Structure 1
Amino acid sequence: MSPNRSALPNASALLILTPHASGALPPGVLRAMLGADAFDTDRREALLRRVFLEGDPYTDLIYNVPGASHLSAPWSRFAADLNRERGDTSDNGVLKLFDFDKKALYPAGFAFSPEAREQRLQAVWDTFEAAVSAALPGKRLMIVGHSMAPYGPALGPDTGTPRPGITLMVGLPKLPSFPAARVSELKTAAEHAFADVLNGEPFTRVAVNDPWADDSLSVRHSEASGVPAFGIEVNAGLYLTPKGEARPGQLARLNAAFETFAASALALLP
Structure 2
Amino acid sequence: MSLLILTPHSSGQMPAAVMHQMLGEDVYRSETRERWQRRMFLDGDPYTDLLFLVPGARTLNAPWSRFVVDLNRERDDDSDNGVVKRSGFDKGALYPAGAALDVAERLRRYWDSFDAQVRAELAGGEVRLLMVGHSMAPRGPALGPDQDQPRPALTLMVGEGEQPSFPAAQVGALQAAAQTAFASVLDGAEVSRVAVNDPWKTDDLSARYHAQAGLAAFGLEINAGLYLTPQGRPRDERIRALNSGLRDFAARALELVGA
User: Per the shorter chain, which TM-score range?
Assistant: over 0.9
Instruction: Please say which of residues 250-259 and 103-112 is displaced more in the overlay.
Output: 103-112
User: 8 Å contact 1:63–1:258 — kept in the other structure?
Assistant: yes
Whole-Å Cα distance in 1 between the matches of residues 90 and 235 of structure 2? 23
2:207 to 210, 219, 227: 219
C-alpha deviations, 1:95-145, integer Å up to 9, x for none? 111111112211123253xxx211111111111111111112311111000
TM-score, normalised with respect to structure 2:
0.97
Whole-Å Cα distance in 1 between the matches of residues 186 and 171 of structure 2? 20
Q: 1:3 maps to what in 2? A: none
Q: 1:14 maps to what in 2? A: 3
Q: 1:123 maps to what in 2? A: 109
Letter in 1 for 2:205: L
Whole-Å Cα distance in 2 between the matches of residues 174 and 79 of structure 1? 34
Letter in 1 for 2:104: E
**SS where residue 80 of structure 1 aligns?**
coil
Whole-Å Cα distance in 2 between the matches of residues 144 and 235 of structure 1? 15
Matches within 5 A, 1:149-188: 149-188=137-176
Stretches (4+) displaced over 6 A: none
**SS where residue 60 of structure 2 aligns?**
strand
> Does the alignment pair 1:32 with 2:18?
no
**Unmatched 5+ residue regions in structure 1?**
1-11
Q: 1:6 maps to what in 2? A: none
Whole-Å Cα distance in 2 between the matches of residues 50 and 252 of structure 1? 23
2:31 to 31, 42, 59: 42
Letter in 2 for 1:117: V
Q: 1:135 maps to what in 2? A: 121
Report the RMSD for the aligned CA atoms in angstroms: 1.0
Q: 1:105 maps to what in 2? A: 94
C-alpha deviations, 1:172-196, integer Å up to 9, x for none? 2223111111111000000111111
**SS where residue 151 of structure 1 aligns?**
coil
**SS where residue 251 of structure 1 aligns?**
helix
Percent identical across equivalent pairs? 57
Whole-Å Cα distance in 1 between the matches of residues 36 and 53 of structure 2? 27
Whole-Å Cα distance in 2 between the matches of residues 160 and 185 of structure 1? 30
C-alpha deviations, 1:175-220, integer Å up to 9, x for none? 3111111111000000111111111222110000000001110110
Letter in 1 for 2:56: G
**SS where residue 63 of structure 2 aligns?**
coil
Letter in 2 for 1:152: G
User: 8 Å contact 1:171–1:178 — kept in the other structure?
Assistant: yes
Whole-Å Cα distance in 2 between the matches of residues 196 and 181 of structure 1? 27
- Count of aligned positions: 256
Whole-Å Cα distance in 1 between the matches of residues 83 and 187 of structure 2? 35
Q: 2:61 maps to what in 1? A: 72
Whole-Å Cα distance in 2 between the matches of residues 177 and 52 of structure 1? 28
Instruction: Please say which of residues 27-36 and 54-63 is displaced more in the overlay.
Output: 27-36
